[in-house]
Amino acid sequence: MPNPKHKTAVLIWAAIIILSYFAHRFAFEWIGIRHDAFSYSLLSLYLFFGLFSVAILLTVFRVSARNFDLVGMSFLIITTLKMVAFFVFVHPILKSISSTAPIEKINFFGMFIVFLSIETIVTIVILNEKQ
Protein backbone atom coordinates (compact mmCIF):
# COMPACT_ATOMS: atom_id res chain seq x y z
CA MET A 1 0.00 0.00 0.00
CA PRO A 2 2.08 2.92 -1.25
CA ASN A 3 -0.07 5.77 0.02
CA PRO A 4 0.30 6.49 3.77
CA LYS A 5 -3.20 8.05 3.76
CA HIS A 6 -4.63 4.67 2.75
CA LYS A 7 -2.76 2.85 5.52
CA THR A 8 -4.03 5.38 8.05
CA ALA A 9 -7.57 5.05 6.70
CA VAL A 10 -7.49 1.25 7.12
CA LEU A 11 -6.12 1.53 10.66
CA ILE A 12 -8.76 4.10 11.60
CA TRP A 13 -11.47 1.90 10.08
CA ALA A 14 -10.21 -1.12 12.06
CA ALA A 15 -10.30 0.95 15.27
CA ILE A 16 -13.84 2.10 14.50
CA ILE A 17 -14.92 -1.51 13.93
CA ILE A 18 -13.47 -2.56 17.29
CA LEU A 19 -15.08 0.36 19.13
CA SER A 20 -18.39 -0.32 17.37
CA TYR A 21 -18.32 -3.93 18.52
CA PHE A 22 -17.98 -2.93 22.16
CA ALA A 23 -20.64 -0.22 21.84
CA HIS A 24 -23.00 -2.67 20.13
CA ARG A 25 -22.44 -5.29 22.82
CA PHE A 26 -22.97 -2.72 25.57
CA ALA A 27 -26.18 -1.48 23.91
CA PHE A 28 -27.56 -5.02 23.70
CA GLU A 29 -26.76 -5.65 27.37
CA TRP A 30 -28.18 -2.29 28.42
CA ILE A 31 -31.42 -2.83 26.50
CA GLY A 32 -31.63 -6.42 27.68
CA ILE A 33 -31.32 -8.23 24.35
CA ARG A 34 -29.97 -11.73 24.83
CA HIS A 35 -27.44 -11.93 22.04
CA ASP A 36 -25.95 -15.15 23.42
CA ALA A 37 -28.94 -17.01 21.92
CA PHE A 38 -28.16 -15.74 18.41
CA SER A 39 -26.97 -18.16 15.72
CA TYR A 40 -23.76 -16.15 15.46
CA SER A 41 -22.14 -14.14 18.21
CA LEU A 42 -21.64 -10.41 17.80
CA LEU A 43 -17.91 -11.05 17.71
CA SER A 44 -18.20 -13.45 14.77
CA LEU A 45 -20.46 -10.99 12.92
CA TYR A 46 -18.01 -8.13 13.45
CA LEU A 47 -15.12 -10.34 12.38
CA PHE A 48 -17.03 -11.37 9.25
CA PHE A 49 -18.06 -7.86 8.28
CA GLY A 50 -14.82 -6.25 9.46
CA LEU A 51 -12.52 -8.60 7.57
CA PHE A 52 -14.54 -8.25 4.39
CA SER A 53 -14.63 -4.49 4.81
CA VAL A 54 -10.88 -4.22 5.30
CA ALA A 55 -10.33 -6.56 2.33
CA ILE A 56 -12.55 -4.37 0.17
CA LEU A 57 -10.75 -1.21 1.26
CA LEU A 58 -7.31 -2.73 0.68
CA THR A 59 -8.34 -4.00 -2.74
CA VAL A 60 -9.78 -0.66 -3.78
CA PHE A 61 -6.68 1.19 -2.55
CA ARG A 62 -4.34 -1.20 -4.39
CA VAL A 63 -6.32 -1.07 -7.59
CA SER A 64 -6.51 2.73 -7.45
CA ALA A 65 -2.71 2.88 -7.14
CA ARG A 66 -2.10 0.46 -10.04
CA ASN A 67 -4.93 1.08 -12.49
CA PHE A 68 -7.42 3.72 -11.48
CA ASP A 69 -9.82 2.82 -14.28
CA LEU A 70 -10.57 -0.54 -12.64
CA VAL A 71 -11.51 0.77 -9.18
CA GLY A 72 -15.26 0.62 -9.72
CA MET A 73 -15.18 -2.82 -11.31
CA SER A 74 -12.98 -4.27 -8.57
CA PHE A 75 -15.33 -2.84 -5.95
CA LEU A 76 -18.31 -4.46 -7.66
CA ILE A 77 -16.57 -7.83 -7.97
CA ILE A 78 -15.44 -8.02 -4.35
CA THR A 79 -18.83 -6.76 -3.16
CA THR A 80 -20.47 -9.55 -5.17
CA LEU A 81 -18.19 -12.08 -3.47
CA LYS A 82 -19.20 -10.54 -0.16
CA MET A 83 -22.88 -10.99 -1.08
CA VAL A 84 -22.32 -14.70 -1.81
CA ALA A 85 -20.55 -15.19 1.51
CA PHE A 86 -23.26 -13.10 3.15
CA PHE A 87 -25.99 -15.41 1.82
CA VAL A 88 -24.18 -18.52 3.07
CA PHE A 89 -23.62 -16.85 6.43
CA VAL A 90 -27.20 -15.54 6.84
CA HIS A 91 -28.97 -18.73 5.75
CA PRO A 92 -29.20 -20.25 9.29
CA ILE A 93 -30.55 -16.94 10.62
CA LEU A 94 -33.26 -16.83 7.96
CA LYS A 95 -34.31 -20.41 8.81
CA SER A 96 -34.30 -19.79 12.56
CA ILE A 97 -37.60 -19.89 14.44
CA SER A 98 -36.19 -18.96 17.83
CA SER A 99 -37.66 -16.14 19.89
CA THR A 100 -34.66 -13.93 19.08
CA ALA A 101 -34.79 -14.57 15.31
CA PRO A 102 -36.49 -11.25 14.36
CA ILE A 103 -33.96 -9.24 16.38
CA GLU A 104 -31.10 -11.27 14.96
CA LYS A 105 -32.30 -10.72 11.38
CA ILE A 106 -32.63 -6.96 11.91
CA ASN A 107 -29.21 -6.89 13.56
CA PHE A 108 -27.55 -8.82 10.73
CA PHE A 109 -29.11 -6.85 7.89
CA GLY A 110 -28.53 -3.57 9.72
CA MET A 111 -24.84 -4.36 10.13
CA PHE A 112 -24.63 -5.38 6.48
CA ILE A 113 -26.15 -2.10 5.32
CA VAL A 114 -23.92 0.01 7.58
CA PHE A 115 -20.72 -1.72 6.46
CA LEU A 116 -21.72 -1.66 2.79
CA SER A 117 -22.59 2.03 3.01
CA ILE A 118 -19.23 2.93 4.49
CA GLU A 119 -17.34 0.82 1.92
CA THR A 120 -19.31 2.51 -0.86
CA ILE A 121 -18.60 5.99 0.52
CA VAL A 122 -14.87 5.25 0.75
CA THR A 123 -14.90 3.99 -2.83
CA ILE A 124 -16.73 7.12 -3.98
CA VAL A 125 -14.14 9.29 -2.21
CA ILE A 126 -11.34 7.40 -3.95
CA LEU A 127 -13.07 7.77 -7.32
CA ASN A 128 -13.49 11.52 -6.72
CA GLU A 129 -9.78 11.99 -5.84
CA LYS A 130 -8.78 11.97 -9.51
CA GLN A 131 -11.23 14.66 -10.56
Question: Which carries the bigger pLDDT value, residue 99 or residue 117?
Answer: 117
Half-sphere exposure of 20 (CA within 13 A, CB side): 15
What is the pTM assigned to this prediction?
Answer: 0.80
Nearest Cα to Cα of residue 46 among 27, 62, 23: 23
Predicted confidence band of residue 131 (pLDDT cuts 50, 70, 90): low
Query: What confidence tens digit (pLDDT) does each residue in 77-115 have?
Result: 998 998 898 888 888 888 877 777 788 888 888 888 888
Mean pLDDT (the chain, rounded): 84
**Does 2 have pLDDT greater than 60?**
no
CA–chain centroid gap for 93, Å, is: 18
Q: Which of 11-20, 49-58, 122-131 has the lowest mean pLDDT?
A: 122-131
Q: Residue 41 has what pLDDT?
A: 84
Using CA atoms, how far residue 50 sits from 43, 81, 102, in Å, is 10, 15, 23
